[in-house]
């Protein structure tokens, strides 16, 4: 018979800062009040052009209410993180932000650095997988609808009646508002 666990712990949210290279990134840390470590942590990011406030809080609070800590972060150039121009998209820089977010999560008080899980949606599901592939200490990945083959994505024909536009830009430099 499956075991039932209570998941109604009070969740405390704090706004923090961590460095990714020379840029400051803004995470929200979710913790269950009264739970002491060492505890697992879930590092979360949301799609390439959204922020940690776009849909993530509900998932983060649910994870935290079970006794996990959560670090949900904004990429540089997005949300409350630094970086200019605003709304800039760079796979390599966002991948650096993932690594910095994992390093930040591991050094938080009460965290078991061997129980780090990554959660990503869409493009960030793919980035979570890439981050985990490069870091053997990552314990788990939750990749929700991950984008794992960008070339296949771009070569896929548009649905009938729709037109997708793409304008070439130097590698790693996408214009704000681009697909």
Name the β-bridge partners of 116.
41, 138
Any domain includes 166:
no
Name the β-bridge partners of 142.
119
Segment 124-134 mean pLDDT: 89
Burial class (CB in 10 A: 0-12, 13-18, 19+), 155: exposed
Q: What is the pTM of this model?
A: 0.78
Segment 99-123 mean pLDDT: 94
Distance CA 77, CA 36 (A): 34
Segment 89-108 mean pLDDT: 92
pLDDT on residue 155: 62
pLDDT on residue 158: 56
Q: What are phi and psi of 26, to 5 degrees?
A: -110, 110
Please give the residue range of the domain that contains residue 58.
11-150
Query: Which of the four pLDDT bands, split at 50, 70 and 90, describes residue 175?
Result: very low
Sequence-distant (6+) residues with CB within 8 A of 100 are: 18, 19, 20, 21, 25
Q: What angle do CA 111, 113, 115 make, to 5 degrees?
A: 90
Any domain includes 113:
yes
Any domain includes 122:
yes
Other C-beta atoms closer than 10 Å to the C-beta of 93 total 18
Q: How far is CA 137 from CA 95, 132, 133, 145, 167, in A?
A: 17, 8, 10, 23, 38
CA nearest to 46, candidates 83, 73, 18: 73
Distance CA 107, CA 109 (A): 6
Segment 84-96 mean pLDDT: 84
Q: How many domains does the chain have?
A: 1
Hunting for tokens 């997708």 — which residue is that?
164
Tens-place pLDDT, residues 149-170: 666 655 656 556 655 454 444 4
Segment 61-80 mean pLDDT: 90
Any domain includes 172:
no
Secondary structure (3-state) at 19: strand
pLDDT on residue 174: 43
* Mean pLDDT (the chain, rounded): 81
Any domain includes 156:
no
Question: For residues 43 and 116, is the Cβ–Cβ distance under 8 A?
Answer: yes
Tens-place pLDDT, residues 8-63: 678 999 999 999 999 999 999 999 888 877 999 999 987 666 777 777 898 999 99
Any domain includes 177:
no
Any domain includes 77:
yes
Which residue has better confidence, 174 or 125?
Answer: 125
Distance CA 4, CA 60 (A): 20
Q: For residue 111, is pLDDT > 50?
A: yes
Any domain includes 137:
yes
Looking up residue 106, the CATH number of its domain turns out to be 3.40.50.1820
The two three-digit tokens of residue 139, written as one number: 């314990």
């Amino acid at each position: 018979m499956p075991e039932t666990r209570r998941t109604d712990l009070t969740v405390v949210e704090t706004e923090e800062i961590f460095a990714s290279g020379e840029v400051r990134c803004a995470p929200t840390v979710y913790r269950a009040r009264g739970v002491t470590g060492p505890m697992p942590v879930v590092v979360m990011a949301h799609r390439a052009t959204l922020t940690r406030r776009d849909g993530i809080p509900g998932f983060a609070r649910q994870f935290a209410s079970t006794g996990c800590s959560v670090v949900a972060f904004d990429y540089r150039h997005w949300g409350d993180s630094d970086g200019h121009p605003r709304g800039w998209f760079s796979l390599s820089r966002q991948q650096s932000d993932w690594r910095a977010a994992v390093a930040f999560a591991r050094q938080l008080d009460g965290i078991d650095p061997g129980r780090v899980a990554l959660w990503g949606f869409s493009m960030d599901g793919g980035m979570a997988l890439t981050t985990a592939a490069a870091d053997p200490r990552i314990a788990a990945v939750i990749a929700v609808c991950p984008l794992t083959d960008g070339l296949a994505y771009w070569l896929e024909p548009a649905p009938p009646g729709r037109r997708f536009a793409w304008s070439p830009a130097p590698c790693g430099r996408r214009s704000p508002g681009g697909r």
